[in-house]
Amino acid sequence: MLSDSLTPDKIYPLWDELADFDAGDIWASRSHLLKTICDLIDAQNADWIGCVRLAPRINSDPMQGWRPLTRFTLVPSKKASQRIDEAFSEMENGEPDVTTRRTVELAGRFRVLRLCDLATPDWFEGPSYQRFYRALDRKDSIWAGIPINKDTEIQIGFHRSFSKPGFSVQEVDFVSHALRGMRWFFKHQMLGEGAGVASSPLTPTEQLVLQGLLLGLTEKEIAEQNGQSHHTTHDHIKRIFRKYGVSSRSSLMALWLGKGLTTDDTP
């Protein structure tokens, strides 16, 4: 049950606003989602991490084949970026902390949890909490795990500073309600980055070209918009098609219309 101040009518305008963004404008729409929810739940920052399972489940791998592939921080900082790099390195080396291991165990299910749901009380006195949360003035976090398909997930974290109380159960319920009905949005976001969907993630330049394709611009218009030669733009388009395994604009658009990507409907 949501508290009096966090009611569904705060969420519905956000859904409508996100639906009005251009299909390829993933960064603006993503920022709008994160900022709006941060404002509603009084969070100071948010992280978005695209995760893929690169290999089958292996007993010796505590990550069970899952690896973080892309990331986006609403309010970036050098210190936060360094800490995230350190955390990713530990995951790659098979040394994830307990919150990450718990997240891996829950992969494939939509879930929204606080830090206290992911870790034992003694973890808050340990090095991981000190390095990745306290050092960044993050007292508490709400982490949402959103399956896209069996090998792709999005992790979204909302963070609150030490000057405020920890997140409440009502705030967790609010975030869960806000994110649960947006499968179309998350699918488009992963398509826009190419993470876990294309054969490899798109480069920043390819993302700009993709946006032009989704807006229906001609190759000449895309080239002019991005300050490229027509030949360079054409080469980018061919690489984009190869990464998505399509041969035409119509096939590319079919992905955005839900005809080329199978999503995971597991609750």
Look at residues 186, 259, 244, 182 and name the one whose alpha carbon lies nearest to residue 213.
244
**Whole-number Cα distances in Å, 233 to 68, 142, 208, 244:** 29, 41, 10, 17
On whether both 174 and 51 belong to a single domain, the answer is: yes
- Quote the CA–CA distance of 224 and 105 in Å, as a whole number: 47
The reply to whether 176 and 218 lie within a common domain is: no
The reply to whether 266 falls in a domain is no
CB atoms within 10 A of CB 111: 18
| Residue 193 domain flag | no
CB 110 within 8 Å of CB 103: no
Cβ distance 167 to 173 under 8 Å? no
Which of the two residues, 156 and 210, has the higher pLDDT score?
156
Which range marks the domain in which residue 173 is found? 8-181
Q: Which pLDDT value is given to residue 58?
A: 67
Provide the pLDDT for residue 12. Answer: 93
45 and 153 fall within a common domain:
yes
Angle (deg, nearest 10), helices 204-214 and 230-244: 90
Mean pLDDT on 174-190: 91
235 inside domain: yes
Q: Domain tally for the chain?
A: 2
CA-CA-CA-CA torsion sign (26, 52, 76, 139): positive
Confidence grade of residue 3 (pLDDT, cut at 50, 70, 90): low
Decide which of 133 and 64 is more confident.
133
Domain membership of residue 264 (yes or no) is no
Whether residues 43 and 140 fall in one domain: yes
